[in-house]
Structure 1
Amino acid sequence: MVTDRYGNRLYECTAEGAEHLDRAVEGLLFFRPDFPNAVADAVAASPGSPLAQAFAAYLGVLGTEARDAAEARRRFAEFGAGLDHSALPRRERMHMAAAEAWLAGDMGRAGQVLEELVVECPRDPLALAVGHQLDFFTGDATRLRDRIGGALPAWAADDPHRGPLMGMYAFGLEESGHYDRAQEVGRAAVEQNPRDIWAIHAVVHVHEMRGRFAEGIDFLDARLDDWASGSLLTVHSWWHYALYALEAGDTGTALRIYDAVLHHKDSTGFVMELLDAAALLWRFLLDELDQDARWQTLADAWAARADPPFYAFNDVHAVMAFAGAGRLETADEFVADRRRWLESQKEERPNTNRVMTGEIGLPVCEALVAYVRGDYASVVELLWPIRRRLHTFGGSHAQRDAIQRTLLEAAIRARRDDLARLLLGERTGLSPHSPYNWLGQARLADALGEAGRAAVARATASELAAPAAARLSRNPHHM
């Protein structure tokens, strides 16, 4: 029986298939755009390999594209139809079970199976990487951290693939609030592998959460050749750069990034890219900066997808685009479609998206539409009860902040001064270096007639934004 490069035995797999699997796993760890080709090569070389088939199934759901998932579900069912699962080695059987659960819509079960697998086989990078993404998609920050942290002692310091695991660990540390440790681990991973985009991404998130935007710009500028192209995370990394620019008050830089990278005539239309485009434009909308032409083009792209219900996090960003473009009837019908789907669902088997949609997705979608209609009181009524549970429908703190900002802006506009004060206190306490938070303090003070407090808050925001703005003015971000 052949083994992979990590010493794991491979059932019904040829030596050629093992080589392709090794290449596919490495590509997944480093977010290389061609790693799906390696998965296809592994299946072609060893069509009877359960691990190759499970990897192909994971590939069908990792992109959160409903049509890819449907095709993967069909192929996986064909493979499993005549398979004697009881004859499989335990590792392969568990990968098959995890893939089957995810394809069936039970993301929690899939993540649990992979967690159990890693207990027995901590040197299974496929189980670790796929499980890590499942934790991200379900917003489970503790597992995002500990799934990787628990397995790291099984990887020698000189193992060439310990680095990307450290990058994953850094991201889990950041999402669970351990910023010092996240930066330490993330930077160590980048030192091992300068093009480890997930590790770079983790450090970028640390700067975002701390409000250290000038440092974030310096970090990204120093590594431009390592992240700005040639990765599955290229667009998302530029999105982070645009967030830094917005915080510095440099809307021109943010829009140049949008037009050059996030959404343009040659964009792929992949949902992951459309998410970033919608989330950036929504921040402009919250700041009352008109971007109608961009909204219309983006809404067209979302409409062309005609996505069925699959992942509530994606649905929210589709509604963001429709509402931002002023297509409120389209947004209303989209929400109604998801509500009809939810009501039609049967409870016989677990479905993660059903829970996400009912508990978080629909209220958030309705709040976005209400915000554009100017019904700020309804926005507060919809978002306030779920604001501490938004993580349960996936994404990162930085991504979900668009929704948290929507609640804050609605509270200010609805003159819910008590809630606005509380929200701003929370935000400023966690990120005292964020100009946005201090500008919010200034607006609330204005509403309360506290001119002196407002002036101090605006001066603080200006002082905090200045270093990042200066860096951007010296280096107009390579666009």
Structure 2
Amino acid sequence: MVQTDCFGQAATLPMAVGIDNWNATQMAFLAHGASTPDHLAATLADDPDFALAHAVKGMFLLLLGRRELVETAQSAYAAARLSDQNRPVSSRERVFIAALGAWLDGYPSKSVALFDALLAERPEDVLAMKLSHALRFVLGDAQGMRQSIESVMHAYGPDHPGRGYLMGCHAFAFEETGEYGRAAAAGSAALEISPDDAWGLHAVAHVYDMVASPEKGLRWLSGKESAWAHCNNFRYHVWWHKALMHLELGQTDVVLDLYDTLIRADHTDDYRDISNATSLLMRLELEGIDVGDRWDELAVTSQARTEDGSLIFADLHYLLALVGGRRADATATLVKRIAADGQRSGNEAEMRMANPGTAAAMGLEAFGEGDYGAAFSGLSKARRHMQLAGGSHAQRDVFERLTIDAGIRAGRTKEALAILEDRTARRAGRDDQFAKTRREMMGTLTAPLRVPAE
């Protein structure tokens, strides 16, 4: 009743069922492959009583950050527990079931702790490693990502089939903790071992964003499209990185073309796709670029998500869409709901609604209304804890830009300059074009800049 998967881990599956589909599920997940759910469905079709597959399905659903999928994840949890009762599984597999349960209870940090304990015993468990990494990314725990990866690296020798993907995770952890040279080296090595490691490839793209080297970034991505063509919606995010590089070079026509043909070609309501689109349009608008009616479909889509509340990262990007699309009523509804969730502070999602969510949401609403003093107050207050919203430095930078611009427009240039200086320090001490133009603005500004509210 127990088989060994391609990573040497035991899986409670009957010998007659085979393990090929489960192996394919794990390999696709490591590569952010679009085929992951198909392989998982085939695995469960092979054996509806495979408890580990049910648990992983539940975690995959929760990673999508959608309120309506929680019930389906709960069903997966119930199925995993029932399967364990009917056909007891290993202690290792029970960790995945327990991690799903903790997450469903609203405490993903407890899920991380469970994976940490498992990895202390089984450092070579690549599935646990990748899920722990993904959870820490959602929680904004950059140091934890790095410590977790470095604690298991000794178990990934040249013959470990997950070595390349581990190195890709290490590259991203290096980048998020400011080790840009080591991140680029690790990401490049990851691609040499696992050419489909889109996560490692994108980690290096992050490096070139942080060190303001768009030309090098474009050279890095050029010719490597096969590393992300197979991906799920993560491929849109890699194209987003390419658009950021062109924006840094002032090539706004290219940026808008990438937006229309690749980044937002599919009008999905996945929060990750919404975050790509809204943060890119907001960056363009802050540079005075007319984005036409592109906000409209984002605003309509986001208006339907105002009651979600799964992730503050998602909610803040829905809010960007509503502010950009000038949906004042929906904006107010979402801000009010974030504040109400923050008042409860009953679980980790609600704690993040309280901090940094409520102040950030109020700041974004005020920015849309042209009240830049209030916008700066809210955004600068949230800024101290914005990493708790999750995501990456590059993704959160749109809020940093809005904070700085709100300060400039409110005439609070000294405070805005201090934030800009801190931003530059975290970006290897290099000013990008945003920083350079804002320094020029603050050097010449003699009165508060006011942009009329529309």
| Structure 2 unmatched ranges of 5 or more | 448-454
Is contact 1:228–1:238 with CA below 8 Å preserved after alignment?
Answer: no
Match of 2:52 in 1: 51
Distance (Å, rounded) in 2 between the aligned partners of 1:402 and 1:133? 22
2:227 partner letter? D
1:118, distance to aligned residue in structure 2 (A): 0.7
In structure 2, do the counterparts of structure 1 residues 333 and 231 end up closer, same or farther at CA, with 3 Å as the change threshold? closer
Q: After the TM superposition, which of the residue ranges 68-77 and 362-371 deviates more from structure 2?
A: 68-77
Match of 1:402 in 2: 398
Deviation sequence 1:142-195 (CA, Å, 0-9, x none): 111121221121111133321011001110111011111111111111122222
Deviation sequence 1:113-167 (CA, Å, 0-9, x none): 1111111111211111111000100000011112122112111113332101100
Say whether residues 1:388 and 2:384 are aligned partners.
yes
Matches within 5 A, 1:456-471: none
SS in 1 for 2:293: helix
Distance (Å, rounded) in 2 between the aligned partners of 1:379 and 1:346? 24
Match of 2:435 among 431, 437, 441: 437
2:204 partner letter? V
Say whether residues 1:422 and 2:422 are aligned partners.
no
Distance (Å, rounded) in 1 between the aligned partners of 2:253 and 2:441? 23
In structure 2, do the counterparts of structure 1 residues 39 and 228 end up closer, same or farther at CA, with 3 Å as the change threshold? closer
Q: After the TM superposition, which of the residue ranges 10-19 and 95-104 deviates more from structure 2?
A: 10-19
1:336 partner letter? K
> Larger relative contact order (C-alpha < 8 A, sep ≥ 6)?
1
Match of 1:475 in 2: none
Is contact 1:136–1:394 with CA below 8 Å preserved after alignment?
Answer: yes
SS in 2 for 1:32: coil
Deviation sequence 1:79-114 (CA, Å, 0-9, x none): 425754995422111111101111222111111111
In structure 2, do the counterparts of structure 1 residues 92 and 160 end up closer, same or farther at CA, with 3 Å as the change threshold? closer
In structure 2, do the counterparts of structure 1 residues 80 and 230 end up closer, same or farther at CA, with 3 Å as the change threshold? closer
Is contact 1:167–1:185 with CA below 8 Å preserved after alignment?
Answer: yes
1:290, distance to aligned residue in structure 2 (A): 3.0
Distance (Å, rounded) in 2 between the aligned partners of 1:355 and 1:145? 24
Match of 2:173 in 1: 172
Match of 2:330 in 1: 330
In structure 2, do the counterparts of structure 1 residues 87 and 419 end up closer, same or farther at CA, with 3 Å as the change threshold? same
Is contact 2:61–2:69 with CA below 8 Å preserved after alignment?
Answer: yes
Match of 1:270 in 2: 270
Distance (Å, rounded) in 1 between the aligned partners of 2:421 and 2:264? 35
Matched residue count: 444
SS in 1 for 2:157: coil
Match of 1:473 in 2: none
SS in 2 for 1:222: coil
Match of 1:244 in 2: 245
Is contact 2:342–2:352 with CA below 8 Å preserved after alignment?
Answer: no
In structure 2, do the counterparts of structure 1 residues 296 and 123 end up closer, same or farther at CA, with 3 Å as the change threshold? same
Percentage of matched positions with identical amino acids = 30
In structure 2, do the counterparts of structure 1 residues 346 and 185 end up closer, same or farther at CA, with 3 Å as the change threshold? closer
SS in 2 for 1:16: coil
Is contact 2:360–2:378 with CA below 8 Å preserved after alignment?
Answer: yes
1:373 partner letter? E
Distance (Å, rounded) in 2 between the aligned partners of 1:199 and 1:184? 10
Distance (Å, rounded) in 1 between the aligned partners of 2:5 and 2:204? 31
| Structure 1 unmatched ranges of 5 or more | 450-479
SS in 1 for 2:268: coil
Deviation sequence 1:19-47 (CA, Å, 0-9, x none): 22211110001111011111122222222
Distance (Å, rounded) in 1 between the aligned partners of 2:93 and 2:150? 23
Is contact 1:197–1:231 with CA below 8 Å preserved after alignment?
Answer: no
In structure 2, do the counterparts of structure 1 residues 306 and 339 end up closer, same or farther at CA, with 3 Å as the change threshold? closer
SS in 2 for 1:277: helix
Is contact 1:111–1:131 with CA below 8 Å preserved after alignment?
Answer: yes
Is contact 2:341–2:353 with CA below 8 Å preserved after alignment?
Answer: no
Matches within 5 A, 1:36-115: 36-81=37-82, 83-84=84-85, 88-115=89-116
In structure 2, do the counterparts of structure 1 residues 413 and 191 end up closer, same or farther at CA, with 3 Å as the change threshold? same
Match of 1:454 in 2: none
Match of 2:297 in 1: 297
Q: After the TM superposition, which of the residue ranges 61-70 and 393-402 deviates more from structure 2?
A: 61-70
Deviation sequence 1:376-416 (CA, Å, 0-9, x none): 11122112233231111101000000001111001111111
Task: Give the TM-score normalised by the residue count of structure 1.
Answer: 0.88
Match of 1:138 in 2: 139
